[in-house]
C-alpha cells in the first residue's frame, strides 16, 4: 500500500493498461513498454516502470521478402510491424507483488494484402516487482 496523492489515504495499487510502442530495425524488434499503477481510490498514477525489451527474428520467416540481414530484396518488399494486443496483469507471490505487461506484435511485408496472415507473430511478456517501480511525480 502507498499513499494516494489525490486523497492522502493509503491505497492499493491497481495496474492500468500499459503503453507500448514496437519498432522493427532490420530483423530486431524493439519495444518500449510503460507499466503504471494507479491508486484504487482516486485512480491517480502512483508508480511506473519503463521496460525496453528486444527480440531477434530469424530470417527464415521472411524468405522471398528480405535477405538474411533483414534488407528488402526489392523495393516491393519491406517489413512492417504492428501491435496486436496489449494487456496488464498482476502476479503475486507470498513475499512480493509484480506487475506484468503482455504486448503482442505481427510482422508483415508491404507486398501482402492488409488482412493477410502475418509472416511472423510474437509476444513480449515483461514483469517488474512492485518494489522496483519508481514513484510518479
Q: Is residue 50 part of a domain?
A: yes
pTM of the predicted model, to two decimals? Answer: 0.87
Give the model's pLDDT for residue 93. Answer: 85
Q: Is residue 45 part of a domain?
A: yes
Among the listed residues 34, 42, 32, 50, the one whose alpha carbon sits nearest the alpha carbon of residue 11: 42
Give the model's pLDDT for residue 95. Answer: 83
Q: Is residue 137 part of a domain?
A: no
Q: Is residue 44 part of a domain?
A: yes
Residues 6+ apart with CB under 8 A from 26: 69, 70, 71
Q: Map grid coordinates 523495393 to a residue.
A: 75
Domain total for the chain?
1
Give the model's pLDDT for residue 79. Answer: 95
Q: Is residue 105 part of a domain?
A: yes
Q: Is residue 136 part of a domain?
A: no
Per residue of the chain (137 residues), give pLDDT as tens. 778 888 988 888 888 989 999 999 999 999 999 999 999 999 999 999 999 999 999 999 999 999 998 899 999 999 999 999 999 999 988 888 899 999 999 999 999 988 899 999 999 999 999 999 999 87
Contact at 8 Å (CB) between 55 and 122? yes
Question: Domain range for residue 72?
Answer: 2-131
Among the listed residues 109, 118, 128, 121, the one whose alpha carbon sits nearest the alpha carbon of residue 49: 128
Give the model's pLDDT for residue 115. Answer: 86
Amino acid at each position: 500500500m502507498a499513499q494516494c496523492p489525490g486523497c492522502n489515504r493509503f491505497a492499493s495499487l491497481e495496474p492500468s493498461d500499459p503503453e507500448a510502442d514496437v519498432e522493427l530495425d532490420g530483423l530486431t524488434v524493439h519495444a518500449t513498454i510503460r507499466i503504471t499503477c494507479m491508486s484504487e481510490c482516486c485512480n491517480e498514477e502512483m508508480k511506473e516502470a519503463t521496460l525496453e525489451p528486444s527480440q531477434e527474428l530469424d530470417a527464415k520467416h521472411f524468405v522471398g521478402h528480405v535477405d538474411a540481414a533483414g534488407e528488402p530484396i526489392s523495393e516491393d518488399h519491406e517489413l512492417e510491424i504492428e501491435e496486436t494486443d496489449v494487456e496488464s496483469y498482476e502476479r503475486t507471490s507470498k513475499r512480493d507483488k509484480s506487475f506484468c505487461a503482455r504486448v503482442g506484435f505481427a510482422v508483415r511485408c508491404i507486398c501482402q494484402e492488409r488482412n493477410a496472415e502475418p509472416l511472423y507473430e510474437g509476444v513480449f511478456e515483461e514483469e517488474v516487482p512492485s518494489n522496483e517501480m519508481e514513484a510518479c511525480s
